[in-house]
Amino acid sequence: MKGIALLGSTGSIGTQTLEIVRRYTEKLKVKLLAASKLSEKLLQQIEEFRPEFVYIKEYSPVRGVKVLSGEEGLHELAEIDADIFINGIAGIAGIKPTYLLLKKNRRLATANKEAIICLGEVLKEKYSEIIPIDSEHCAIFQCLQAGKKEEVKRIILTASGGPFWNVKNLEGITPEDALKHPKWKMGKR
Secondary structure of 74-109 as H, E, C letters? HHHHCCCCCCEEEECCCHHHHHHHHHHHHHCCCCEE
Q: How confident is the model at residue 59 (pLDDT cuts 50, 70, 90)?
A: very high
pLDDT tens readout for residues 159-170: 556 677 777 787
Q: Domain segments of the chain: what residues?
A: 2-136
CATH class (in words) of the domain with range 2-136? alpha beta
Question: Does residue 47 contact residue 97 with C-beta atoms inside 8 Å?
Answer: no
The residue among 98, 78, 80, 79 whose CA lies nearest residue 89 is 98
Q: How confident is the model at residue 145 (pLDDT cuts 50, 70, 90)?
A: confident
User: What mean pLDDT comes out for the span 145-161?
Assistant: 74
pLDDT tens readout for residues 31-53: 999 999 999 999 999 999 999 99
Q: How confident is the model at residue 116 (pLDDT cuts 50, 70, 90)?
A: confident
- Residue 21, pLDDT > 80, answer yes
Question: Does residue 67 contact residue 77 with C-beta atoms inside 8 Å?
Answer: no
- Residue 4, pLDDT > 90, answer yes
